[in-house]
Amino acid sequence: MLDKDKKIKVGIIGATGFAGVELVRILLKHPHAELSALGSVSFEGQAISGIYPSLAGLCDLVCTDSQSVIDKSDLVFACVAHGMSQEFAADCAKKSVAFIDLGADFRLESEDEYKEWYDGEFLDKELHEQAAYGLPELFRKDIRGKKIIANPGCYPTGAALALYPALAGGFVEKTGIIIDAKSGVTGAGRSPSQTTHFPLCNEGFAAYKIAAHRHTPEIEQSLSHAVGQELALTFVPHLLPINRGILTTAYAKLKEGVGLDEVYDYYENFYKNEAFVRLKSLGQTVNLRDVKYSNFCDLALHADERAGNLIVTSAIDNMVKGAAGQAVQNMNIIFDLPEGAGLDLIPPAF
């Protein structure tokens, strides 16, 4: 690890995408890190502040190529599409540069599932064995000491934090689980599409990739760890006509004789030392407004006693806890820094 008095030199590959520029926003205020280089294929040779004027005078680094980013950094964040990160990770490993992938290349433990859902393969199986899945509240012990981190997807973050304790505590059945989630359009990335183009998204609301979204196996993988066996669930995402946030509503069948108070006590104990998970009191609800621009995940528990279901809702900012903020949280862990360093981000009141 680095000398505690020396700042970590951090580079970002894919710095001009939404997750990349969110990393820039957070890291500019990080007390133990400094931006060393920004990489962009589309905007190479241009200053980041020319692409995002909000950064004028705050960060005027000129975007360069990925190799320069790796050469100048102690740690590299990769904000690129799946299929691109494995080669970057291999290069970083050769140079003893830590690597945090905000894409999907290292998230799935099974190569067969990666082939099925992403139509790719593990280029270096040993490299994948060295990687850790970076959802700190659930897998912190696996992250420490690692230099390759798979930053979780935004939907899997909200879903896993919502249901993991219920499954780990044995309060709900392992079958019939339904995850219903709604995301802001930034989750689709910077490039516009037919679904994210403003006039086609605004004043509309629709489900998409029903029971076929690539985050499904990632959610199943996390929740399977809670019970020690493979789970299958139904995941339905929706696109909200807003910029940021993911609201997840998770449904699971309560086991006979289990009451909401018992489940709540378990959740309260499970997350009592987690600074970024805020459990609402019974009867309260979560709202995307209350987590916007922050690394918080807000949770609320409800029970449908008539149907015998546990209902857990979670709210995160998909660009922070669902991407850049969680990536910085992982950086803090692997460099043995205070986990909340640089993440004292306060949500707006309205």
Q: CATH number, domain at 57?
A: 3.40.50.720
Within a domain: 350: no
Edge-to-edge, what's the strand order for the sheet holding 206-207?
206-207, 234-239, 178-183, 246-253, 309-316, 297-304, 277-279
Output the domain CATH number for residue 226.
Answer: 3.30.360.10
Per residue in 31-66, pLDDT tens? 999 999 999 999 999 999 999 999 999 999 999 999
3-state secondary structure of 72: coil
User: Would you say residue 346 lies in a domain?
Assistant: no
Number of structural domains, the chain?
2
Q: What is the torsion angle, in degrees rounded to the nearest 10, for the CA atoms of residue 39, residue 133, residue 19 and residue 42?
A: 30
pLDDT at 188: 72
The amino acid that residue 183 corresponds to is S
- Same domain, yes or no, for 146 and 242? no
Region of poorest pLDDT, from 22-36, 44-58, 164-178, 196-210: 196-210
Region 119-145 average pLDDT = 96
Note whether 205 and 58 are same-domain residues. Answer: no
Six token digits for residue 239: 């696109």
pLDDT tens readout for residues 70-100: 999 999 999 999 999 999 999 999 999 999 9
Give mean pLDDT, residues 214-223: 98
pLDDT computed for residue 196 by the predictor: 75
Alpha carbons 55 and 206: distance in angstroms, whole number:
34
Q: How far apart are CA 152 and CA 136, in angstroms?
A: 10
Q: What is the pLDDT at residue 197?
A: 73
Query: Do both 264 and 162 map to the same domain?
Result: yes
- Residue 290 pLDDT: 98
Indicate whether 3 belongs to any domain: no
Check whether residue 143 and residue 179 sit in a common domain.
no
- Does the structure show a pLDDT above 80 at 193? no
pLDDT digits (tens, 9 = 90+) for 234-261: 999 999 999 999 999 999 999 999 999 9
Angle at the Cα of 328 from the Cα atoms of 152 and 89, rounded to 5 degrees: 65
Please report the pLDDT score of residue 6 as a whole number: 87
Instruction: Tell whether 120 and 163 lie within a shared domain.
Output: no
Tell me, yes or no, whether 244 and 116 share the same domain. Answer: no
Q: Are 274 and 340 in contact (CB under 8 A)?
A: no
Look at residues 350, 333, 40 and name the one whose alpha carbon lies nearest to residue 342. Answer: 333
Residue 3: the pLDDT is 61
Name 44's Cβ contacts closer than 8 Å, sequence gap at least 6: 63, 64, 65
Residue 339 is assigned to a structural domain of this protein:
no
Across 33-47, 69-83, 159-173, 191-205, least confident range: 191-205
Burial of 45 (0-12, 13-18, 19+ CB in 10 A): exposed
3-state secondary structure of 269: helix
> Looking at residue 284, what is its pLDDT?
98
- 89 & 238 share domain: no
| pTM over the 0.75 mark | yes
Catalytic residues, which ones?
Answer: 154
- The verdict on residue 31 lying in a domain is yes
What is the pLDDT averaged over residues 273-297? 98
> How far is residue 58's CA from residue 51's CA, in Å, rounded to a whole number?
13
Residue carrying structure tokens 């798979």: 150
Question: How far from 108 is each of 53, 152, 177, 296, 340, CA to CA, in Å?
Answer: 36, 10, 20, 24, 26
Query: In this structure, are 301 and 187 located in the same domain?
Result: yes
Report the mean per-residue pLDDT for the chain. 95
Please check the confidence at residue 1 and state whether its pLDDT lies above 60: no
Question: Both 45 and 93 in a single domain?
Answer: yes
Tell me how far CA of residue 36 lies from CA of 25, 71, 82, 341, in angstroms: 14, 10, 24, 18
The reply to whether 86 and 205 lie within a common domain is no
- Edge-to-edge strand ranges of the sheet holding 98-101: 33-39, 8-13, 75-78, 98-101, 148-150, 131-133
- Provide mean pLDDT across the span 139-145: 97
**Distance from C-alpha of 219 to C-alpha of 113, rounded to nearest angstrom:** 12
Average pLDDT over residues 179-206: 82
Residue 179 and residue 243 in one domain: yes
DSSP state for residue 319 in the 8-state scheme:
T
**Residue 1, in any domain of the structure:** no
Same domain, 46 and 117: yes
pLDDT at residue 30, as a whole number: 98
Q: Is 345 contained in some domain? A: no
Residue 308 falls within a domain, yes or no?
A: yes
What percent of the chain has a predicted confidence (pLDDT) above 70?
97
The parent domain of residue 139 ranges over 8-152+321-334
Please report, to the nearest 10 degrees, the dihedral formed by the alpha carbons of residues 164, 170, 176, 181 taken in order.
Answer: -20
Q: What pLDDT does 88 receive?
A: 97
